[in-house]
Structure 1
Amino acid sequence: MRQLFAALLLIAAPAFAHSAPTAPGAAASSTVTPSKPQPVAAMDAAEPEQAPVPQPPFEELKLLSEQAVEGMPTGNLSGLAWCGDALWTVSDRDDDRIYRLTANGAVLNADVEVFQAPPPPQSPLPWGVRVRNWLSGITRGGDLDFEGLTCDAKGNRYLVSEATSAVLMIPPAGSGEWLNLPVSLVNQARARGMLLHFNALFEGLAIDAKGERLWLAAERERRGLLVLHKINGSWKCAGGCVLMSEGGDELPPPQMGTKPMPKDFSDVALYKNHLYTLERLAHRICRRAADTGEAEHCWSFANEALTDARKYDEPWGMAEALTIDEKGAWIGVDNGNKARGDGEDRPIVWRFAAPAAGWSAKP
């Protein structure tokens, strides 16, 4: 009955996503008041979005291997990172565990590491979006909706909660703790048109080896990249949090049809002082400047991902997680418990070879 009630509310909640008042008690604290939407309209008027046009062909990456993930009962793979000597993943349906992946022939066995997370900080998102996030957690599982996984040189793992716009740090030993992020992070993102819609919030994160710079990827409508700096033990927007914000639609690869869809980021990774964004609809990986977010070079994985055997019957992409190293890229596929063309219905991890000229290649 509780889930049925939540499902009915979830259907009705979109009407409140932008106009609903702040929840009782929240208005007493100015630190959780989101930016007003007027700057977004002004920005959009100054930057009209162009109709999508076909992109020139990008160099296609070569698939080296694919392995299904076994032992992840909730599925919904949502992050991937090489931490220490192992590949780790997370599901957006689990609030208390991550998984260490171990190769076993054609599969990756998922070994559970359980953690405890304290109650999350008050979300600075507007009331309507918070309600829809809460209802979604009740109906599908995963109240925190963890998206993205990254780690620093000390072995700390970091997860971003899409439901709360907060980041959890999991140390090698001990309980998790939430980073004390500035409210200006979400305020600035919303003022630039990001984080306005349910299920289009923070979708990935990356951190430097020292654990002092943190990047976050906003998913879509508008997509963008943001950065935080740890200064004297506190996370701050040093000179502004927003690196880039981009709206508009784009065309999917030809194998998926011709219907334009919103541009997106589904993850972000850091390698040799550059960011690499996973662009789900376009089936691309793009190298970007770490201090501006500007795209420098892109590679496609569409030809390998969209064969008849690997394709899903969905109008968007399913690649959800990314990590980069010298020899290649690991891409995690969140299949949403759906079967692809060959009948495989488990999450998938692909291993692609690095580009022929390396990740630092010039266009």
Structure 2
Amino acid sequence: MVGGNLSGLAVCNGRLWTVSDRDDNVLYRLDTAQTVWAAEAQSFEAPAPQSVLPLNLRSLANMSSVVRGGSLDFEGISCDTAGNRYLVSEAYGTVLKVPASGVASWLALPDEMTAQARDKGMLHHFNAIFEGIAVDPAGRRIWLAAEREDRGLLVVRREGDDWRCGQSCVLLAESQEAAAPSKGGQTNKRDYSDVSLYNGKLFTLERSVYRVCRRTLETGRLERCWSFGAEATKPSRRYDQRYGLTEALVVDETGAWIGTDNNFGARADGEKRPVVWRFAAPKAGWSAP
């Protein structure tokens, strides 16, 4: 992977896949047979994207890509039972569908999705657009996580060949009154860095506070959270970077995969590769009240 910038995880037909926000035309299938995993590249060609994000946000994303690479800035991956992979582009605020075979294509998501999100305070800041994606098994509903300032959850539904908002594309919008403490007395804004669908519930990865939270599909209402901060913040696992780096989540029956985007940086113990943690499910299960 380019620089180890792992920015999403998905289980597709029993195999773990990942994406890097520095690669515009590569998916990675993870070979997990050994303790040190190998990333097997699968190339695709993405057509030119269309976007309804404001010009200033798209221009900033384009300038940033000149410096760091990754003009599409893929920040999440999900899949359906047919084997289609769905990648969310933060730079353009839209979704690319990469089929198991055939040509990749951008989904024609409704323009009102972006308009509704911006009306609720989301999608106003560069590098704070979409940071996670979950797709239902039939490929008929897509949930997107707006990262921060403000954060929220959106959903679109496929009706025939068209993607629509239904009553509203905005499932949940949250303001930024609360902030998460970080190193050096600074504070980080509350955020979502990924979203996973499991057993009829949405699970959000809340990077700034090191927790996974269960939410309802219908409204995004918070039901329960579990912290992984005790493990993630051990001295040997810390990074000399202001913001949290956990950016990928897959929840399943026995536990959760949580991946880190190390942004070219090394941990305190010298590890420079991206790390995927495996956490056991709560003793009472993910459905515990």
2:180 and 2:190 in contact (8 A); partners too:
no
2:9 and 2:78 in contact (8 A); partners too:
yes
Please state whether the residue corresponding to 1:159 is helix, strand or coil. Answer: strand
Post-superposition CA distance 1:159-180 (Å, at most 9, x none): 0010111100111111211111
1:250 positional shift: 3.8
Amino acid at match of 1:168: L
Partner of 2:152: 224
Which stretches of structure 1, 4 residues or longer, exceed 3 Å deviation after superposition? 249-254
Partner of 1:182: 110
Q: Which moves more between the two structures, 184-193 or 307-316?
A: 307-316
1:78 and 1:146 in contact (8 A); partners too:
yes
Post-superposition CA distance 1:300-321 (Å, at most 9, x none): 0000011011111223211000
Partner of 1:166: 94
- Matching of residues 1-363 of structure 1 within 5 Å: 72-121=1-50, 123-252=51-180, 256=183, 258-362=185-289
1:258 positional shift: 4.2
1:200 and 1:221 in contact (8 A); partners too:
yes
Q: Which moves more between the two structures, 183-192 or 308-317?
A: 308-317
1:104 positional shift: 4.4
Q: Structure 1: how far apart are the matches of 2:198 and 2:146?
A: 19
Q: Structure 2: how far apart are the matches of 1:140 and 1:229?
A: 34
Q: Structure 2: how far apart are the matches of 1:92 and 1:249?
A: 29
1:270 positional shift: 0.3
1:249 positional shift: 4.9
1:135 positional shift: 0.6
Q: Structure 2: how far apart are the matches of 1:189 and 1:251?
A: 21
Higher strand share: 2
Q: 1:192 to 1:157 in 2, by over 3 A?
A: same
**How big is the alpha-carbon RMSD for the aligned residues of Structure 1 and Structure 2?**
1.2
Q: Structure 2: how far apart are the matches of 1:328 and 1:104?
A: 18
Post-superposition CA distance 1:167-208 (Å, at most 9, x none): 001111112111110100100000000000000001111010
Amino acid at match of 2:64: S
1:253 and 1:302 in contact (8 A); partners too:
no
1:144 and 1:164 in contact (8 A); partners too:
yes
TM-score, normalization by structure 1 = 0.78
1:251 and 1:259 in contact (8 A); partners too:
no
Amino acid at match of 2:77: L
1:223 and 1:264 in contact (8 A); partners too:
yes
Post-superposition CA distance 1:117-170 (Å, at most 9, x none): 11112x111111111011111111001000100000111000001011110011
How many equivalent pairs are there? Answer: 289
Query: Per chain length, whose mean CA-contact separation is higher, i.e. which structure has more relative contact order (CA < 8 Å, sep 6+)?
Result: 1
2:75 and 2:89 in contact (8 A); partners too:
yes
Please state whether the residue corresponding to 1:309 is helix, strand or coil. Answer: helix
Q: 1:124 to 1:214 in 2, by over 3 A?
A: same
Please state whether the residue corresponding to 1:107 is helix, strand or coil. Answer: coil
Q: Structure 2: how far apart are the matches of 1:223 and 1:73?
A: 28
1:251 positional shift: 4.7
Of all paired residues, the percent bearing the same amino acid is 54
Q: Structure 1: how far apart are the matches of 2:107 and 2:3?
A: 26
Larger radius of gyration: 1
1:347 positional shift: 0.6
Q: Structure 1: how far apart are the matches of 2:97 and 2:179?
A: 36
Post-superposition CA distance 1:57-99 (Å, at most 9, x none): xxxxxxxxxxxxxxx1332111100111210000000000110
1:252 positional shift: 3.6
Post-superposition CA distance 1:18-72 (Å, at most 9, x none): xxxxxxxxxxxxxxxxxxxxxxxxxxxxxxxxxxxxxxxxxxxxxxxxxxxxxx1
Q: Structure 1: how far apart are the matches of 2:247 and 2:33?
A: 22
Q: Which moves more between the two structures, 278-287 or 240-249?
A: 240-249
